[in-house]
Amino acid sequence: MTYISSARPTILLADVEGILETSRRRNRQDEITGLLVFDGKRFLQVIEGPYQAIETTFARIAQDPRHRALVKLATRSVEVREFGQWAMASHIVGPLIGDGNIVEQVDALTETLTDPNIKATLRGFARVRA
Ligand SMILES: Cc1cc2nc3c(=O)[nH]c(=O)nc-3n(C[C@H](O)[C@H](O)[C@H](O)COP(=O)(O)O)c2cc1C
């Protein structure tokens, strides 16, 4: 499942780090893998795993006041995980962390993806500047 959302305008780096820490811990328990990209304003997240775990987790994420205006971009069933080989459940990139070169970072993170739609969605997100 892929969705985008807008971060609450007052969001802090500490909030994003908290989201990442919770997501990694809970997703490991729930056998969910994926990628979370934050560009300073918006989130783009891909999560994959057992159907029920994805439904439950997405319902929880949607209730989270740290973001709003969630829009599901795609949901489909897959035989093989796209992010399954990654030890970390998610990644944060963007201006708040690192050198701020979101395009380079997302390109690197998506290098090994086999699904052309997910790859294009992630790379397109990194290139859009509002
Ligand atoms: C952008 C964003 C992405 C999130 N991604 C996940 C995630 O992948 N897995 C997860 O368990 N929680 C994620 N969360 C956190 C959940 O909204 C929630 O805070 C967390 O699961 C703990 O829920 P609880 O307080 O009901 O235990 C995310 C929150 C935000 C704002």
For residue 99, what are the domain limits? 2-127
Q: From the CA of 73, how far away is ligand 1's center (Å)? A: 18
Phi (first) and psi of residue 81, to 5 degrees: -70, 140
Does the pLDDT at position 104 exceed 80? Answer: yes
For residue range 15-56, what is the model confidence (pLDDT) as tens digits? 998 998 999 899 989 999 999 988 888 999 999 999 999 999
* Percentage above 90 pLDDT, the chain: 57
Nearest CA to ligand 1 atom 28: 61
Report the 10 Å Cβ neighbour count for 51: 10
Cβ contacts of 114 within 8 Å, gap of 6 or more: 82
Nearest CA to ligand 1 atom 7: 23
> Which 8-state DSSP code applies to residue 82?
S
Q: From the CA of 85, how far away is ligand 1's center (Å)? A: 21
**Domains of the chain: total:** 1
CATH code at 76?
Answer: 3.30.70.100
Average pLDDT, the chain: 88
- What is the mean predicted confidence (pLDDT) over 82-103? 67
pLDDT (0 to 100) of residue 55: 97
Does the pLDDT at position 66 exceed 90? Answer: yes
Cβ contacts of 107 within 8 Å, gap of 6 or more: 123, 126
The confidence band for 8, taking pLDDT boundaries of 50, 70 and 90, is very high
Q: Cα separation of 93 and 30, whole Å?
A: 23
